[in-house]
């Protein structure tokens, strides 16, 4: 980064002599006693620009503005010094939750039931087989010997809206999701900045949970980071399309994942995938399509609006399920 040439003030004259007259470096015909606080060059009142401390010359103002812009990403976010760090932290959290589930009974254990999302809840057979009584409510479940009730979102387990996006019960499932996050996360954070990247990730996860509440069976259960991953794919697709990048390749990978979701049938939560994709596209649209001069005013209010809409949809569905 270049610095403006420094100005060396003239040496102090001997005692009793008048100091030499300084003139504005841009207007040599104008004498001045004002100096730029940054480079010390003499400037006249017409050339000086008010700064946080003192005044600066026009060149120093332009240089400072250029340095400030270089720390800003293409869509308003602050560039991350290490764009891999956030994805690695998310991966670490997912691995930690996976180990907790594995060490406490796996996908059939109680921690898996606590962290996975279930719209209404399940009446589970207490034999660690994962069997449950379909359609049986909590009151009826309490009367069944050898069964216990696992709460869902509508019966108070609100944390499942987010924890389900960090919970995995199978090695292949967690490995596939986290490998995808490892490759998709850093380039997206590099473009959006850390805060906006996290907004896409968590809103996509929340949108996936909202879709499960509305579209899945009330006593079904789902877990995994796939909703958030689909949100990242949607955001990358929109950004590549907006910037003229190779969005066809991203669309191809998205299509492959859609085919896998369809073929997976009952073993894959297509609801979570669909909701995550829509959530990621919505947040990315707010961040990417907002005009540059309006970003500071509308980006974060737009993200908050999308989040509030999802929370309203979730609240309405909870009331319906109850």
CATH number of the domain that residue 53 is part of: 3.30.40
Q: What local confidence, expressed as pLDDT, does residue 53 receive?
A: 64
Give per-residue pLDDT as tens, 251-268.
Answer: 887 888 777 776 766 678
The single-letter DSSP state of residue 293 is: G
Same domain, 49 and 102: no
The tokens for 116 are 């996975």
pLDDT band, residue 1 (cuts 50/70/90): very low
**Which position has the token pair 């503005």?**
65
The single-letter DSSP state of residue 131 is: -
- Per the structure, how many domains does the chain have? 2
Give per-residue pLDDT as tens, 159-207.
Answer: 999 999 999 999 999 999 999 999 999 999 999 999 999 999 999 999 9
How far is Cα 118 from Cα 130, in angstroms, rounded to an integer? 14
| Helices within 193-268 (DSSP H only) | 194-215, 226-243, 247-264
Same domain, 272 and 133: yes
CA dihedral 152, 158, 164, 169 (to 10 degrees): -50
- 75 inside domain: no
Given a cut of 50, whether residue 88 has pLDDT beyond it is: yes
Given a cut of 50, whether residue 36 has pLDDT beyond it is: yes
Given a cut of 50, whether residue 128 has pLDDT beyond it is: yes
pLDDT band, residue 304 (cuts 50/70/90): very high
209 against 113, higher pLDDT:
209
Same domain, 242 and 187: yes
How far is Cα 117 from Cα 147, in angstroms, rounded to an integer? 19
Q: Look up the pTM and report it.
A: 0.76
Can you give the CATH number for the domain in which 210 is found?
Answer: 1.20.1540.10
Residue range 268-284: average pLDDT? 94
């Amino acid at each position: 980064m270049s610095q403006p040439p420094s100005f060396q003030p003239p040496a102090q004259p001997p005692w009793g002599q008048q100091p030499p007259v300084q003139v504005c470096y841009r207007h040599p015909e104008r004498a001045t006693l004002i100096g730029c606080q940054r480079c010390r060059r003499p400037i006249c009142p017409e050339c000086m620009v008010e700064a946080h401390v003192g005044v600066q010359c026009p060149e120093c103002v332009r240089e400072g503005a250029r340095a400030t812009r270089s720390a800003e990403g293409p869509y308003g976010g602050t560039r991350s010094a290490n764009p891999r760090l956030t994805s690695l932290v998310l991966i670490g959290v997912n691995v930690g939750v996976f180990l907790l589930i594995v060490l406490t009974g796996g996908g059939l254990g109680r921690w898996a039931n606590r962290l996975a999302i279930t719209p209404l809840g399940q009446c589970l057979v207490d034999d660690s087989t994962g069997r449950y009584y379909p359609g049986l409510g909590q009151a009826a479940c309490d009367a069944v010997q050898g069964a216990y009730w696992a709460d869902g979102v509508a019966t108070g387990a609100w944390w499942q809206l987010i924890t389900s996006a960090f919970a995995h019960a199978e090695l292949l499932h967690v490995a596939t999701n986290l490998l995808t996050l490892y490759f998709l996360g850093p380039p997206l954070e590099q473009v959006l900045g850390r805060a906006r990247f996290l907004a896409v990730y968590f809103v996509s996860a929340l949108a996936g949970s909202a879709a499960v509440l509305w579209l899945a069976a009330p006593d079904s259960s789902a877990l995994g980071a796939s909703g958030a991953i689909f949100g990242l794919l949607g955001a990358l697709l929109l950004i590549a399309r907006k910037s003229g990048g190779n969005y066809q390749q991203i669309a191809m990978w998205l299509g492959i994942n859609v085919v896998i979701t369809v073929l997976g049938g009952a073993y894959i939560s297509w609801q979570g995938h669909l909701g995550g994709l829509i959530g990621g596209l919505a947040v990315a649209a707010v961040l990417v399509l907002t005009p540059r001069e309006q970003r500071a005013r509308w980006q974060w209010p737009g993200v908050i609006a999308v989040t509030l809409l999802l929370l309203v949809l979730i609240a309405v569905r909870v009331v319906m399920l109850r």
